[in-house]
Structure 1
Amino acid sequence: MREYLKFYVNGDWIAPEAPKQMEVINPATEEVCGYISAGSAADVDKAAAAAKRAFVTYSQTTREERIELLQRILAEYQKRFDDIAKAVTEEMGAPASFAQGAQVPSGTVHIKAGIEILKTFKFEEDRGTTRIAKEPIGVCGMITPWNWPISQIALKVVPALAAGCTMVLKPSEEAPFSACIWAEIMDAAGVPAGVFNMINGAGPVVGAAIARHPGIDMVSFTGSTRAGIEVARNAAATVKRVTQELGGKSPNIILEDADFEAAVSAGVRSVMSNSGQSCNAPTRMLVPARKMDEAIVIAKEVAEATTVGDPNGNATIGPVVNKIQWENIQRLIEVGINEGATLVTGGIGRPDGLNKGFYVKPTVFANVKNDMAVAREEIFGPVVSILSYESIDEAVKIGNDTEYGLAAYISGSDMKSIRAVASQLRAGQVSINGSGGDATAPFGGYKLSGNGRETGDYGLHEYLEIKSILGYGLKQAAE
């Protein structure tokens, strides 16, 4: 049983202002696996004050000092790698192999990329006699999700540190254990007191307090579009910068000349990965109408080969994170059936032999129309919807016919055609023929998928203000 009942503020573990415990549920067993404290606005006040004091000195540190700090964090992170992986498996149900092979390594990737970007990033440039300076924005509020818990923390904390900012983190209350280990890593790495602060608690309480706090200069939020809208509303009164990485319903366009079996198989596996709990998952597969039957056969085989079970065993995927998510996925699967989509495999209820835990059957719908709920709503589970198109123009139209715009995918052989399609898709990141894994590429969305970008130098820009110093390059006036 894990207990993290203190918050990390100003370099110390401190008790909450008003002690109140929250249960953490293991989604594989539906049993309590630990406790955290539920923070309040008063706890956020304390953390924000510490971060504001620390900003005075940390914002003046050199590039070299920040690089050295990030290298110490990387070393401590690597020491705690196995501890983090076990925490991720316990708190959100990621299979141990996936936690070890993807969830925790992604944090390593973000730290290493941040170090490399910081080495050459231009914080100043001269245009004639004007100097343009990029300076740390100030105290940053960070609200992170449960689906990639440690990855998303690294994705926000690392560029903020690189920029010279201080911060207050609220990790997901669904997956707080890995975040607490992260705070221990920051402490062990010697992050100066007040630079990094962490308050656990509920989003509508702690998250809202961070968003509206006058002493916090920007907020970086990753989560649902619904929650992102509330963050923006709470932040509006203080006119702070708000960056958001929100939901998605990403099209996966498989062109006529693609390696069809490989493309369909890869698309289904990608959705099933992490139990479908990735905002950029290619959940809308678009195939040529004449190949729908072929797509059904391939997708069915891949989905039914996706084993579901104990995350500490050999299953491909584990449970989804909690009962609320499980029930919402079940509801949408039922809606898809009632709307008339072809249920290829999967469906309502737990997989056979699993009577406990928030497990979902790997599900494939075919002959889906783009006005159906399973094509429009973010299901956030292992559910693929296959749609058909008659022409490339129609495929692009369907791909863009969504309120989201986070990611898109294209498979084919003719690069000229692929590039033409990519240029027309309204999405923040387009992947061609399975390309991925570029830690320097900006990530973020159009439309209701958010504002701003993460990763790479574009991610660092979000934590910087721009100052123009006119006349900076003039020669000193004669006395």
Structure 2
Amino acid sequence: MVTERENQFYLGGEWQEFADATHLPVVDPASERVVGHLAAGDAHHVDIAVRAARKAFPAFSQSPVSERSALLGRMHSLLKERAESFAEALVMEMGAAISFARASQVPFAAEHIRVQMETLEKYRFVTIDRHTATAKEAIGVCALITPWNWPLYQITAKVAPAIAAGCTIVLKPSELSPYSALLFAQLMHDAGTPPGVFNLVNGTGESVGSALASHPDVDMVSITGSTRAGVLVAQAAAPTVKRVVQELGGKSPNILLDDADFSEAVAKGVLAGMRNVGQSCSAPTRMLVPAHRLAEVEELASTTARAISVGAPLEPATNMGPIANRAQFERVQIMIQAGIDDGAKLLCGGLGRPAGLETGFFTQPTIFSEVTSDMRIAREEIFGPVLSIMPYTDEEEAIAIANDTVYGLGAHVQSSDPERARRIAARLRAGQVHINYPAWDGAAAFGGYKRSGNGREYGVYGLEEYLETKSILGY
């Protein structure tokens, strides 16, 4: 099913093939083999998609909430029914370990849809205060630009609230991990989405992404990607004064206070930082620990990292597959070398592939200690399984180190004292703070301070990004 659609775009309710489309190779990161060739669009294909979305908008934006909720329900059911197909696509396109795809990538994607169904049931689109009504209305045609690291999860995090709001959509997934998006487009078709409400154009950011961002008939762009990509989208969108929601890079701190249970907090911190091969913008990749307990932390962290099983993603015992693509693999190697060159203490891992793996974009789980805030590995987003342990002398210094970054997406605090943890959390300049490794919450607002972005996703906060506010006086 996936490969027969790779030469097509989903436009106006049907799959269409264009003889003039260029093609891009799709590479399996575990084998480095080309497994397919993807049709890549341009401004012409974007025009067709936007016209279809614009045509569908008047009717869909006025559709009853019950109809939109029912559509979300069908989407949710189909995603759960087809979960294994999506998991297998994620393995092929980005090298996700099959166990992780089944346990996290696909279920969390489904949860974004379920949360929007729940949000929609309670949401009041019109409120009245004396003689003034405040109406929340669909913003219009939305361009959704999604990344390669959580391909399906980021699609549903954007598509579900856009549908709930009554918006129409043009999706541009990453050309590096496109197969789950093709499966999702078919799911939208099979769920009975009205023609033009959902459209898919594959291609590069330079071609399709920039055409969408600058298109005069696109009312909003939501992008998840690098800070560099987010800046380019905002610049392209500025002349048409459209809304831009950006979920961008991160360099999240994880403060272990001296009263934390280190035997648990260190191990969980390593695994959180290296989850999804470290390819998460909110990954807690800076572990801040009391200086007098540094040796203890080093031992616990190294033991945890060395126990991670790196290998073929379809093997049930594999915890960590390859980096998702060659460019990112090379970036991670450069940053490991930078850590060595800057004088950080290499505890485990390092350059090159793990022993026994001669091909594939496999990387050793790597931990540096004695990292200081002036080092590249402490300042730049690496997006790989590389953790920096940073010692601090007291609480004030821990907070200062945590906030000493241009990013502000996520942060973690570990403590046995809830009040102390809350006090620290209140002083961290980040959009989402986790205390003592809580369960993931698909309704919690997600987004960043500073260069980590603008706007919020998930739950009611994500829904409201797709809504305009209208005041009606004398109501």
Q: Describe the SS at the equivalent of 2:451.
A: helix
Query: How far off its partner does 1:17 sit?
Result: 6.7
Partner of 1:284: 286
Query: How far off its partner does 1:36 sit?
Result: 1.2
Partner of 1:86: 88
Whether 1:369 and 2:380 are equivalent positions in the alignment is no
Whether 1:153 and 2:155 are equivalent positions in the alignment is yes
The one-letter amino acid paired with 2:378 is: A
Taking the TM superposition and a 5 Å limit, the aligned residue runs for 1:268-307 are 268-307=270-309
How high is the sequence identity, in percent, across the aligned residues?
A: 53
Query: How far off its partner does 1:77 sit?
Result: 1.4
Distance, in Å, in 1 between the alignment partners of 2:81 and 2:247 is 29
Distance, in Å, in 2 between the alignment partners of 1:146 and 1:110 is 18
Would the aligned equivalents of 1:110 and 1:158 in 2 still touch at CA under 8 Å? yes
Query: How far off its partner does 1:348 sit?
Result: 0.4
Query: How far off its partner does 1:2 sit?
Result: 2.5
Q: Is the deviation greater in 390-399 or in 412-421? A: 412-421
The one-letter amino acid paired with 2:47 is: D
Q: Compute the TM-score of the two structures, normalised by the length of structure 2.
A: 0.98
Taking the TM superposition and a 5 Å limit, the aligned residue runs for 1:91-130 are 91-130=93-132
Distance, in Å, in 1 between the alignment partners of 2:104 and 2:312 is 18
Whether 1:468 and 2:471 are equivalent positions in the alignment is yes
Segments of structure 1 that go 5 or more residues without pairing to the other structure are 473-479
Partner of 1:253: 255
Distance, in Å, in 2 between the alignment partners of 1:203 and 1:144 is 10
Partner of 1:210: 212
Partner of 1:459: 462
CA offsets 1:253-283 (integer angstroms, 9 cap, x no match): 0000000111010000111211100111000
- Divergent runs of 4+, >4 A: none
Q: Describe the SS at the equivalent of 1:2.
A: helix
The one-letter amino acid paired with 1:469 is: I
Partner of 1:196: 198
Whether 1:356 and 2:359 are equivalent positions in the alignment is yes
The one-letter amino acid paired with 2:312 is: D
CA RMSD of aligned residues (A): 0.8
Distance, in Å, in 2 between the alignment partners of 1:374 and 1:439 is 30
Query: How far off its partner does 1:436 sit?
Result: 3.1
- Between Structure 1 and Structure 2, how many residues are aligned? 472
Q: Compute the TM-score of the two structures, normalised by the length of structure 1.
A: 0.98
Distance, in Å, in 2 between the alignment partners of 1:467 and 1:109 is 30
Distance, in Å, in 2 between the alignment partners of 1:108 and 1:44 is 27
Decide which of 39, 44, 47 is 1:45's aligned counterpart.
47
CA offsets 1:292-349 (integer angstroms, 9 cap, x no match): 1001000000000011110011211000011110111001100101111000000000
Partner of 1:384: 387
Query: How far off its partner does 1:415 sit?
Result: 1.5
Partner of 1:477: none
Would the aligned equivalents of 1:2 and 1:33 in 2 still touch at CA under 8 Å? no
Partner of 1:327: 330
Distance, in Å, in 2 between the alignment partners of 1:31 and 1:74 is 33
Would the aligned equivalents of 1:16 and 1:39 in 2 still touch at CA under 8 Å? no
Distance, in Å, in 2 between the alignment partners of 1:74 and 1:349 is 41
Partner of 1:476: none
Q: Describe the SS at the equivalent of 2:147.
A: coil
Distance, in Å, in 2 between the alignment partners of 1:152 and 1:253 is 27
Whether 1:231 and 2:238 are equivalent positions in the alignment is no
Whether 1:29 and 2:31 are equivalent positions in the alignment is yes
Decide which of 141, 165, 168 is 2:167's aligned counterpart.
165
